[in-house]
Amino acid sequence: NAGVTQTPKFQVLKTGQSMTLQCAQDMNHEYMSWYRQDPGMGLRLIHYSVGAGITDQGEVPNGYNVSRSTTEDFPLRLLSAAPSQTSVYFCASSPTPGQLNQPQHFGDGTRLSIL
Amino acid sequence: SQQGEEDPQALSIQEGENATMNCSYKTSINNLQWYRQNSGRGLVHLILIRSNEREKHSGRLRVTLDTSKKSSSLLITASRAADTASYFCVGAGNNRKLIWGLGTSLAVNP
């Protein structure tokens, strides 16, 4: 069972470069989200999607874009990388949007360093 | 931003001992979940406790929830080296947003 797959696992960028972090799930989940994890900050929600064609901002959306053209894929785009975006990024999914009692399934993360 | 507070931040015990970690909030929470994160991996769901439940068991895990005190605890009994990980609580706030704790790092020494 693949679950939630994130690529790449590691990436180093220079300030100002752009890139896309990929996330795919094979569980037909409606809800997908992106988090960043920083020491001492816990998990912070960047963007989320409640279904194909629908996205919304989370707690820390600035500097990031998302799209949801299919149920399976939810890429995260860094438009112009900044050192403050150095972090570990996690994609997560759950079956039904709006249900806060559902377990989320996480990918293994992308470790991103911005120089 | 709102965050859950977890206590202790780090815990080191011997294999076979019990591990207790706590989670508290400044705002009212409803359902609460606990997750485990092994080093370099994503989070894995452990257990959900609903607002109308006070205690729940799953294998070696025992979770309590006190909505009046806005707090929860996770007990791992008879710990194993494989339990070494970080543990996170996440509560559902009244604003229908998930509020994550900062995590407890557990080391179980063989």
Chain mean pLDDT for chain A: 94
Residue B89 DSSP SS3: strand
Measure the N-to-C terminal CA separation of chain B; round to a whole number of Å. 38
Give the pLDDT band of residue A1 (cuts 50, 70, 90): low
Asked if residue B1 has pLDDT above 70, the reply is no
Q: B78 — alpha (psi -120 to 50), left (phi > 0) or beta?
A: left
Q: Is the peptide bond before B8 cis (omega within 30 degrees of 0)?
A: yes
C-alpha R_g of chain B: 13
Asked whether the beta carbons of residue A100 and residue B50 sit closer than 8 angstroms, the reply is no
Give the closest of B33, B43, B98 to A106, CB-based: B43
- A99 contacts on B by Cβ (under 8 Å): none
Q: Calculate mean pLDDT across residues B29-58.
A: 93
- B43 contacts on A by Cβ (under 8 Å): 43, 90, 92, 104, 106
- CB of A93 closer than 8 Å to CB of A110: no
* Structure confidence by residue, pLDDT tens digits, B16-29: 999 999 999 888 88
Chain mean pLDDT for chain B: 92
* Structure confidence by residue, pLDDT tens digits, A34-45: 999 998 888 999
Phi and psi at residue A67, to the nearest 5°: -150, 160
Give the closest of B3, B31, B100 to A101, CB-based: B31
Going by the DSSP 8-state scheme, the letter that residue A69 receives in this structure is: S
| Cβ atoms within 10 Å, residue A104 | 24
Best B31, B43, B100 residue to mutate vs chain A (most A CBs within 10 Å): B43
Q: Number of A:B CB contacts under 8 A?
A: 49
Give the pLDDT band of residue B93 (cuts 50, 70, 90): confident
Written as six digits, the tokens of B103 are: 């995590």
**pLDDT at B2 (0 to 100):** 58
By CA distance, what is A33's nearest residue in B? B98
Is 2.60.40.10 the CATH number for B2-109? yes
Going by the DSSP 8-state scheme, the letter that residue A84 receives in this structure is: G
**pLDDT at A39 (0 to 100):** 86
* Structure confidence by residue, pLDDT tens digits, B49-92: 998 999 999 999 999 999 889 899 999 999 999 999 999 999 88
* Burial of A12 per CB tally in 10 Å (0-12, 13-18, 19+): exposed
> Strand A10-13 and strand A110-114: pairing?
parallel
Residue with tokens 């092994």: B38
- A44 contacts on B by Cβ (under 8 Å): 1, 100
Asked if residue A74 has pLDDT above 60, the reply is yes
- CA–CA dist B18, B35 (Å, integer): 18
